[in-house]
């Protein structure tokens, strides 16, 4: 019965609620507190890691000083547990006075002063997931205006302690309220994560008109099993999810956990590659003050980021699942290029996977060049019908940036006939 009511409510939402903010034309990038720091509010015992203005100032400093900002990691996003336990006498959300003594406006100014953007968290329910004041339907306009006055650049709007009917009213209503503030505030909806299943019971056409990105599935945990569960859900549902992603509206498989405790080096490389194939937002949730050089190298891979930020904004697909437990993923890119990922679910030893581009449905009469995204190695003169072999480590990936160079019967004519393809050429890592 709830599904029927929600569907009815969705049909009544006017087109005027379209987001219309012009933001996030490529997947957003930045840092988000939740997976790594959760709802740690014990600043007396753990001042270095508690949810406080100092934590977010520290991360803003790291983004600005350690090369992240220049690569596109520009959002510093507060998640749950930032507010006081009660609203003010006038009903306004207020930050916890001990953990955020300077206030959110001052924190936003600090973040903006470093060339970055500030995100904040809210919840359409009576409480947030952490038990802090939620944004009930009658508080939506007030909270949207408060966020705008503080200088917030993005809102993540969760759905704990709310019904499906409230979500169906509240998520579009917040979109309209954010627009009405006059400040461009990117909007991340958790709505589909509360309406999951196979297939998900979500009107994605509507969602793309009211949200810049949306959480689809369970929260990521610091484990390889969690990453795999998200990958499985996303690519099982790719026929539903893939068509609705694009500039300004993205499917969000949740945070990057690279640099934490749960992934091996190969698994970290795999998460980065698979999130990039999905045209996913790249929100790191790790301690940037202590991150290892190997994790930093994965997250700061320039060719990977170029692919993730491709202006066409086409979400990739899984195109093959082999009996050998090798899977192949493809994402079309601008300038006639493609990204290919060969992913191993094996746990025994490196696997020599042999295939051809024709087998992967590439045009037979074209010659390609491939650049390994992680090593930079270039394979030239790759004919579509030729067999090639990639060695994929257990739980690992080989990722290629692939672009055409010529037609077999007309050397060099591909670039002559497709001038834009000149821009898809070897990339300096």
pLDDT of residue 408: 81
DSSP state of 294: H
Give domain status of residue 241, yes or no.
yes
- The answer to whether residue 93 scores a pLDDT higher than 80 is yes
Indicate if 304 and 346 belong to the same structural domain. no
Query: What is 63-132 written as a DSSP string?
Result: HHHSSHHHHT--EEE--SS-B-SS--TTS---B-TTTSTT-HHHHHHHHHTTT-EEEEEEESSSB-TTSS
Q: Give the range among 12-26, 255-269, 344-358 with minimum mean pLDDT.
A: 12-26
Indicate if 168 and 220 belong to the same structural domain. yes
Q: Which residue is listed with tokens 């599904």?
A: 3
Indicate if 39 and 171 belong to the same structural domain. yes
Indicate if 304 and 354 belong to the same structural domain. no
Q: Structural domain of residue 344, as residue ranges?
A: 317-423
Domains contained in the chain, number:
2
Exposure string of 223-252, with b = 16+ CB inside 10 Å and e = fewer, is ebebbbebbebbbebbeebbebbebbbbbb
Model confidence pLDDT, tens digit, residues 165-180 = 999 999 999 999 999 9
pLDDT interval class at 427 (50, 70, 90) = low
Tell how far CA 312 is from the center of its chain: 16
Alpha helical stretches, state H, 309-373: none
pLDDT of residue 14: 38
Give domain status of residue 429, yes or no.
no
Would you say 367 and 381 are in contact if contact means Cβ atoms under 8 Å apart? Answer: yes
pLDDT interval class at 429 (50, 70, 90) = low
What is the rounded distance in angstroms from the CA atom of residue 51 to the CA atom of residue 79?
9
Indicate if 293 and 333 belong to the same structural domain. no
Give domain status of residue 296, yes or no.
yes
CATH number for the domain that contains residue 56: 3.20.20.70
Residues listed for the chain = 429
Would you say 241 and 316 are in contact if contact means Cβ atoms under 8 Å apart? Answer: no
Give domain status of residue 43, yes or no.
yes
Give domain status of residue 428, yes or no.
no
pLDDT of residue 4: 31
Model confidence pLDDT, tens digit, residues 376-415 = 999 999 999 999 999 999 999 999 999 999 888 776 676 6
Q: How confident is the prediction for the chain on average, in pLDDT?
A: 93
| Residue after which a domain boundary falls, among 262, 283, 308 | 308
| Residue after which a domain boundary falls, among 308, 335, 364 | 308
- The answer to whether residue 15 scores a pLDDT higher than 70 is no
Would you say 171 and 210 are in contact if contact means Cβ atoms under 8 Å apart? Answer: yes
Give domain status of residue 244, yes or no.
yes
pLDDT of residue 410: 77
Proportion of the chain above pLDDT 90, given as a percent? 87
DSSP state of 386: S
Active site residues: 158, 219
Indicate if 293 and 380 belong to the same structural domain. no
CATH number for the domain that contains residue 326: 2.60.40.1180
Model confidence pLDDT, tens digit, residues 43-84 = 999 999 999 999 999 999 999 999 999 999 999 999 999 999
| Residue after which a domain boundary falls, among 308, 342, 360 | 308
Indicate if 285 and 215 belong to the same structural domain. yes
Model confidence pLDDT, tens digit, residues 205-228 = 999 999 999 999 999 999 999 999
Q: Give the range among 5-9, 149-153, 189-193, 245-249 with minimum mean pLDDT.
A: 5-9
Average pLDDT over residues 361-372: 94
Dihedral over Cα of 145, 151, 156, 159: its sign: negative
pTM (2 d.p.):
0.93
Give domain status of residue 354, yes or no.
yes
- The answer to whether residue 5 scores a pLDDT higher than 50 is no
Q: What are phi and psi of 286, to 5 degrees?
A: -150, 170
Cβ neighbours of residue 164 closer than 8 Å, sequence gap 6 or more: 2, 3, 5, 6, 194, 195
């Amino acid at each position: 019965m709830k599904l029927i009511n929600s569907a009815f409510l969705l049909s009544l939402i006017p087109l005027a609620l379209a987001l219309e903010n012009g933001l996030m034309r490529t997947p957003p990038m930045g840092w988000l507190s939740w997976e790594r720091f959760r709802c740690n509010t014990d600043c007396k015992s753990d001042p270095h890691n508690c949810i406080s203005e100092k934590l977010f100032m520290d991360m803003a400093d790291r983004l600005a000083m350690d090369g992240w900002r220049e690569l596109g990691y520009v959002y510093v996003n507060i998640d749950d547990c930032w507010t006081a336990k009660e609203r003010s006498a006038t009903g306004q959300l207020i930050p916890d006075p001990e953990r955020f003594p300077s206030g959110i406006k001052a924190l936003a100014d600090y973040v903006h002063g470093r060339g970055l953007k500030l995100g904040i968290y809210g919840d359409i329910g009576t409480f947030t997931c952490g038990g802090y004041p939620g944004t009930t339907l009658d508080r939506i306009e007030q909270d949207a205006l408060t966020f705008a006055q503080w200088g917030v650049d993005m809102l993540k709007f969760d759905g704990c302690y709310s019904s499906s009917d409230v979500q169906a009213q509240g998520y579009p209503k917040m979109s309209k309220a954010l627009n009405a503030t006059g400040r461009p505030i990117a909007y991340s909806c958790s709505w589909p994560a509360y309406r999951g299943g196979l297939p998900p019971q979500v009107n994605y056409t509507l969602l793309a008109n009211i949200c810049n990105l949306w959480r689809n599935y369970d929260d990521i945990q610091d484990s390889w099993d969690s990453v795999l569960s998200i990958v499985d859900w996303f690519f099982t549902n790719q026929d539903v999810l893939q068509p609705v992603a694009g500039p300004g509206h993205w499917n969000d498989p949740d945070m990057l956990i690279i640099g934490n405790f749960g992934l091996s080096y190969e698994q970290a490389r795999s998460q980065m590659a698979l999130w990039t194939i999905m045209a996913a937002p790249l929100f790191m949730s790790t301690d940037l003050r202590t991150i290892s050089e190997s994790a930093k190298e994965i997250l700061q891979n320039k060719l990977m980021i170029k692919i993730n930020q491709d202006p066409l904004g086409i979400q990739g697909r899984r195109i093959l699942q082999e009996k050998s437990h090798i899977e192949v993923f493809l994402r079309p890119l601008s300038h006639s290029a493609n990204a290919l990922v060969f992913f191993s679910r094996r746990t025994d030893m490196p696997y020599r996977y042999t295939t051809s581009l024709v087998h992967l449905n590439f045009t037979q009469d074209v010659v390609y060049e491939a650049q390994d995204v992680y090593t930079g190695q270039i394979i030239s003169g790759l004919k579509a019908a030729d067999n090639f072999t990639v060695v994929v480590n257990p739980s690992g990936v080989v990722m290629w940036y692939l672009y055409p160079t010529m037609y077999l019967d007309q050397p060099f004519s591909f670039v002559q006939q497709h001038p834009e393809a000149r821009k898809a050429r070897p990339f300096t890592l």
